[in-house]
Amino acid sequence: MAKLDFSPIADTTRRAEIVALLRRAILTGQLEPGQKLNELRISEQMRVSRAPLREAMRELVQEGILTSIPYAGTFVIEVTAKDIIDAYSLNQVLDEFAIERTWSQRDQRFFDELGRRHEAVKQATRAKDTTRQIETALQLHGLIYEWADNSVLLETWQRLTSRLQMYFALHQRARNEPVPAEDVHETYVALLKGADMRAAQRHAREHIDLDFEELLAYARGLEKRASKN
């Protein structure tokens, strides 16, 4: 028999689609931090009953991008400067670990995929599609996690990614500036192809720190605005 590996078929439950819709709305910033999600209104808009919607919201609460208060409502998480710092410092540690574990596993397929994802980022950048740019950049960085061969690590990173994507989206939205045209991932990709693991680990920190500064400035702005109330 021919040995074909089929990919799993798509989830066909309403719940799964609702999760995808809501997640996207949150991670692109269409739903703003702190905003309340009215079950009745959303279920009517989606033409769905409240049961699958509520189940979907439970999932996103556990995923860490929604927060729920009994009998009061479910809200998009608030974003503070500390949250962003915390997420990033953990991300640095995980990056280092992921690179270490991936290093010996690198092969041609890895390099091919690395190039493909890098290309996707560049394309999104050229198209000035900021949302897609964030998505593809995170997917590029996610490659080392997929190759680290540690399912728990991968899960952890995916959770973290949700937040990072949200933070970046908010940041982009707030400054509303044209996207950096140049390619900031060139060195990162080159180092992952190279022979010096330590250098790659070091760069992962420094490179990320770059965007981090801007992000942090945005978060500090949020803090100030909040303290005025």
Partner DNA sequence: CCTTGTTAGATTGTCGACAATCTGCTTGTC
Partner DNA sequence: GACAAGCAGATTGTCGACAATCTAACAAGG
Residues found near DNA in the complex (CB under 7 A): 12-15, 36-40, 47-52, 54-55, 68, 70-74
Q: Which is nearer to a copy of itself, 88 or 218 (CB)?
A: 88
Beta bridge partners of 66: 76
CB 215 to a copy of itself: min, Å: 15
Residue closer to a copy of itself by CB (options 20, 127) is 20
Summarize the chain as % helix, strand, coil (round to 5): 70, 5, 25
Structure token digits, residue 226? 């909040």
| Residue 211 binds which entry of a copy of itself, DNA, none, CB below 5-8 Å type-dependent | none
Q: Choosing among a copy of itself, DNA, none, which partner's interface includes residue 163 (Cβ < 5 to 8 Å by kind)? A: a copy of itself
How far is it, in rounded angstroms, from Cα 149 to Cα 127?
A: 33
**48 contact choice in a copy of itself, DNA, none (CB below 5 to 8 Å, kind-dependent):** DNA
* Dihedral sign from CA coordinates of 76, 82, 86, 91: positive
Which of a copy of itself, DNA, none is residue 38 near (CB under 5 to 8 Å by kind)?
DNA
Q: Which is nearer to DNA, 29 or 52 (CB)?
A: 52
d(CA 6, CA 16) in angstroms, rounded, equals 20
CA distance 17 to 54: 13
Q: Which residue ranges make up the site for a copy of itself (CB under 8 A)?
A: 11-13, 16, 51, 54-55, 58-59, 61-64, 70-71, 82-83, 86-87, 89-90, 93-94, 97, 150-153, 155-156, 159-160, 163
2: amino acid identity, one letter: A
Distance of CA 48 to the CA centre of its chain: 27
The interface partner of residue 117, options being DNA, a copy of itself, none and the CB cut-off 5 to 8 Å by kind, is none
Closer CB to a copy of itself, residue 16 or residue 216? 16
161 CB neighbour count, 10 Å cutoff:
19
Count CB atoms within 10 A of the CB of residue 124: 19
